[in-house]
Amino acid sequence: MAEILLSNVEDSVPDEEISEFLQRYGFPPFTAIERLSGTGNMPSALITFGDLSHEALRLLQERVQNVYWKNHTINLQILTERPD
């Protein structure tokens, strides 16, 4: 299991559009998504991929890092593995 934090994605963007955006850049479909509103400065989505390694995420990260989408510059952070 691997997780990313996709920042600068407004809460109004549907999960399906996020999935389409990521798949356009080579990501597989995600298994879970959780919205993290925070203070509203950088709304984010915590996205889980069930069968994707961290190494594969590192290769995909550069494809979407700093891409301008939906009037925001996207930031993608790979989260470290958590012990089961």
Range of the domain at 58: 2-78
Tokens of 7: 């920042």
Question: Residue 40 falls within a domain, yes or no?
Answer: yes
Tokens of 43: 């709304």
Question: Residue 84 falls within a domain, yes or no?
Answer: no
Q: What is the pTM of this model?
A: 0.88
CATH number of 74's domain:
3.30.70.330
**What is the average pLDDT score of the chain?**
91
pLDDT in tens, 58-80: 999 999 999 999 999 999 999 98
Question: Residue 21 falls within a domain, yes or no?
Answer: yes
Question: Residue 26 falls within a domain, yes or no?
Answer: yes
Backbone angles phi, psi at 27, to 5 degrees: -75, 150
pLDDT in tens, 5-63: 999 999 899 999 999 999 999 999 999 999 987 666 789 999 999 988 888 999 999 99
Number of domains in the chain: 1
Question: Residue 83 falls within a domain, yes or no?
Answer: no
pLDDT at 53: 86
Question: Residue 56 falls within a domain, yes or no?
Answer: yes
Q: What is the phi-psi region of residue 77: left when phi exceeds 0, alpha when psi lies from -120 to 50, beta otherwise? A: beta
